[in-house]
A and B are shown apart, each in its own frame.
Chain A
Amino acid sequence: MTDLDRLNQVLQDQPYIEGFAQPSSVDFSTRSAVKEKDLKGREHLERWFHHLSSFEMTADTVSRSTDNFPQQILDLLASSTEFNSIELAQQWKVDHQKLIGAIKSLLANEGVLATKDVTEKRLELTNEGVQFANEGSPEFLVFQFVGTEGAAQADIMKQPFGKIGMAKAMQAKWVAVDKGTVVRKSTDVVDSTRKYLESLRLGEDVDENQKKELKKRKLISEVNIKGLLVSKGESFTTNLAKQEADLTPEMIASGSWKNKQFKKYNFESLGVVPSSGHLHPLMKVRSEFRQIFFSMGFSEMATNRYVESSFWNFDALFQPQQHPARDAHDTFFVSDPAISTKFPEDYLERVKTVHSKGGYGSAGYNYDWKIEEAQKNVLRTHTTAVSARQLYQLAQEGFRPSKLFSIDRVFRNETLDATHLAEFHQVEGVIAEKNLSLAHLIGVFTEFFKKLGITNLRFKPTYNPYTEPSMEIFAYHQGLAKWVEIGNSGMFRPEMLLPMGLPADVNVAGYGLSLERPTMIKYGINNIRDLFGSKIDLDVVYNTPICRLDK
């Protein structure tokens, strides 16, 4: 790869060689070395090359050849002790940035120059000031427009300079209005505003009162210019050895590197961005959660089924058919294929009974349970639908202690906002064991959240339709200085477990949290749509660090 290609690649990712904010002297000195023909096929280089020209001084200020600037500087120093780069630029009538570029290039030779930073206040023309300096002041343009014949005031006002120009020209008594016609009042006027602006542009001094007036008109403004006070370095010389850009295979082969001088690297700049692929931030966090579950002995459930029957999504969980979660406002109902018809028949009967009449020690909900409601297909509203299938299967195969988890999509027909989407990822853990207690569950949470870097937990009683007892998990948030809810949990109700055929002394606990919320907190993302879905900014994907939840 040539230097030019490398430069092109650097400029692909950043506007200027040394960064993002503004061009530096390196840009200007480098640009002078780039030829027009080099630009072909290097679009980023080309963009940068043309863009830099907008920073250049106008041509008439450049009166000195810039080719051998470094040598000119050395020659100057040989016959003097020190110079100020700002003053020298004025004296030589060259662009200060170019001069700085030359000085910087000399600094690559260690010890030749010594520099000190200096700051000077300077008056600079504003955009309007530049315009007046180039085209003339509005009042003068009005004076010219009026001519010896006079002109209609209305016509003058139509000119871009009309309004300001008229006011100023009247004030200066150059013109006067007579019945709508403007006539000259003075024969010979000088456009002093323009003259002063031109002088200032060339760095010549101007009477204080004039400066005040120009400032008032916002034609000039005061800026700080950073320059260098340059003096001879400890190993000053006017004869520079040619410096090599980099080590070559030939130098290594011939050993000539021993006698060469090498240009200093600029360690201030960033390197070339490697071309690479990237994993999605949400999936990085998902991988981390998966590892945590594996480390705690949880097996992954087969959650690759988004379409679910209301039976497995609600009824199997002892969620009554009038429950608000089963409303069209909250759940996506599938219109095609609209219903499921295959269910384990005896199990379905037991579910129907426990809802409508009770049983297994429960009073039940005492309502008219309808198979039609259970048949309705939905997009699953939680992965617990899959957990229910797994637990039923476990009961059929013969119970064995189990720990299960899943991280997958769930769907809610919700109104969307910055923190809610119609689909999101649910992280769910399920533990089935004889004589499992709330105390065990809290123990699991303590270990689980410790791996997420969260140690200060407490638990609040809550209500969930299919767990009892139920607990919300709260963590103390240092930044917000308050307790925030981070997950929900509980022991599945016997009305859910016993009809499946699980032994009576088996308790099953479930807990869940969303994947998006910890990811948004982890990566400082405020709008969920910036994380999940097609509106994502790929820059975010390119630049999210690896996920270590406990860091």
Chain B
Amino acid sequence: MPTVGIKKVILDKHFNRNYTEKEFDELCFEYGLELDEITSEKAAVEKERGTDAAVDLNDQEVYKIDIPANRYDLLSVEGLARAIRIFKQEIPSPQYKFAEAPKSGLQKIIVKKQTAQVRPFVVGAVLRNISFDADSYASFIDLQDKLHQNICRKRTLVAIGTHDLDTVQGPFEYRAEAPKDIKFKPLNQTKEYTAEELMTLYSSDSHLKAYLPIIQNHPVYPVIYDKNGVVCSMPPIINGEHSKITLNTKNVFIEATATDKQKAFVVLDTIVTLFSQYCAKPFTVEQVEVVYEETGVKEVYPLLAYREMTVTTPEINTKIGIQLKEEEMATLLNKMSLKAEVVGKETLKVVVPPTRHDILHACDVAEDVGVAYGYNNLVTRLPESNTVAVAFPINKLCDNLRIEIAAAGWTEALNFALCSRDDISTKLRQPEALSQAVHIGNPKTLEFQVARTSLLPGLLKTLASNRDMPLPLKLFELQDVIVKDSTMDVGARNERRLAAVYYNKAAGFEIIQGFLDRMMRMLNVNPARADNGYYIEADENPTYFPGRCAKIIGPKGVVLGHIGALHPEVITSFGLTLPCGAVEFNVEPFL
């Protein structure tokens, strides 16, 4: 969930009133935002780098507000204040319009064929006669950053460039060129670099280095030139110094290059709807023509599409649990910046403005009705149908068994299903176990390399962290392991196992065997070499001490698992020092 930080004085200016902290917190809650924290530039830096670093910084209050991940239109104070003031019915929803085309025609971006290999789409727009002040300029830059981090997926899907149109001349060309052939003075640098040199220069730049891999391995890099060969930007890395916008910029040329066209539409609509309020004619945007040279396809941006949807009141009333009339519902939708009019009995036409790309379906409209009505104003009911509860059989069996195990004097451990490769292989002296295990492709640490194929490593680790407890230690775990299984649709399945250990100055095989006997008694299986009984039979298993291991054979001759005294190398590999009796078996056959 993105968080925006806005100075309280700026919030007050945009909201045209002074909210107390409590009022603002309540308002956020009602609208589905969260006032996360109140801080200041100074306090934020103090927290991270100490008081000395923060001496000269501003201590004005900054409100940190959590914004829902699909409401890109609330990522700057302009959009936030506009949406909430409409919600409070203080202002009407603005109508976003296209500006008249200049006499010289629309600005053009000509798209060269090679861009298809690396970053195929571009969109653009112009904001005319804009007046920035220091705050709105900072907000403009900050919005681009917020969009880059969120909907643009760290610039992989969309990258935005904004330029002072009076420093460059259209038509613009969107090309893809070899890195050595691109040379320009990048933003905030004093000399020219080739794209190759920039990659080296920025590889140590804490902010920009994250974006280099997006194009680094491509033979050609995307680049936007003006008519005179001035580099406007090399997306998604950096803009040119030449066309950079300043506080005095009057006409802003916005371009956004993309690998996901839909997202580029949304990003462009968001920027121009939020910042056209500073234009001489507020809420008007001049379009830019994009021409794909190879196909000859011409497109005009931004779309600023007002989408129409038809919804019925019973559908929405049912979903929320209210009984509103058509007009009442339309009023609530207007509060949410959605234009709604009654077009027939129980039918509303809803017009979704270009700020609300989060609205995909009638269910999104229904939610807005719910928010405007107030979730906390709903009259609660209980589901109408009667349903009879049934336990999942293996869980029911295991929950009953766990109580019997504890009654027998064993203590329950609960360990992670993930562990290291060594835990299930070399440490248990079972090198071949790895071929049976589910492997994780992207573990952050050694502890998450594989899914456990045995419960023993977890129990032995629990013993190791409790070595100073009074002896004997008697632990059990009744949980799932994961094994590969090609008959399953995902190629693996869980298996419910019971494992127990007895850790003391003697291995106490008779004690761990007594545990097994007791569990079988509780499962109503008797010791017998018969189809309905169980028995143990000498076996060799590398985890156990030679000659002190048996396999457990259950009803119908199924091998359930093993029991025995652990091998000394297993004991020491888990950092333990005393003998240990152990048992592990599959409980699923007892279902």
Contact = CB atoms under 8 A, between A and B. Distances in A.
A361 B362 contact: yes
Given A401-B387, A460-B375, A422 B448 contact: yes
A407 to B, nearest CB: 9
A401 B386 CA distance: 8
Report the interface size class on chain B.
Answer: 35 or more
Interface stretch (B50-58, B95-103, B459-467): B459-467
Interface residues of A, number: 106
Interface in B42-98: 68-71
Nearest to B31: A461
A4 interface: no
Contacts of A443: 380-383
B254 to A, nearest CB: 21
A48 to B, nearest CB: 14
Given A12-B470, A422-B416, A422-B418, A437 B319 contact: yes
A534 B415 contact: yes
B490 A337 contact: yes
Contacts of B256: none
B398 to A, nearest CB: 10
Interface string A441-475: 01110110000000000111111010011110000
A539 interface: yes
B5 interface: no
Interface in B296-351: 307, 318-322
A244 interface: no
A343 to B, nearest CB: 8
A436 B387 CA distance: 14
Contact of B361 (A300, A306, A361, A483): A361
Contacts, number: 293
B420 to A, nearest CB: 12
A342 B489 contact: yes
Contact of A307 (B69, B361, B438, B458): B438
Interface string A428-444: 00010101111110111
Contacts of B458: 534
A278 B412 contact: yes
B385 interface: yes
B389 interface: yes
A333 B384 contact: no
B210 interface: no
Contacts of B484: 336-337
B184 interface: no
A439 B392 contact: no
Contacts of B441: 328, 332-335, 338
B496 interface: yes
B489 A469 contact: no
Interface string A312-334: 00000000001010001000111
A465 B69 CA distance: 9
Interface in B433-447: 438-444, 447
A377 interface: yes
Contacts of A333: 440-442
Interface in A295-313: 295-309
Interface string B1-20: 10000000000000000000
A491 interface: yes
B406 A277 contact: yes
Q: Which of A276, A282, A458, A534 has the most CB of B within 10 A?
A: A534
10 contacts: A277-B410, A279-B412, A297-B389, A300-B395, A307-B482, A328-B441, A341-B489, A379-B451, A458-B29, A460-B32
Given A439-B380, A471-B375, A534-B416, 17 more contacts: A277-B409, A279-B406, A287-B399, A290-B399, A307-B492, A332-B442, A336-B439, A361-B361, A362-B360, A422-B447, A423-B416, A431-B383, A433-B383, A469-B367, A495-B361, A538-B411, A541-B411
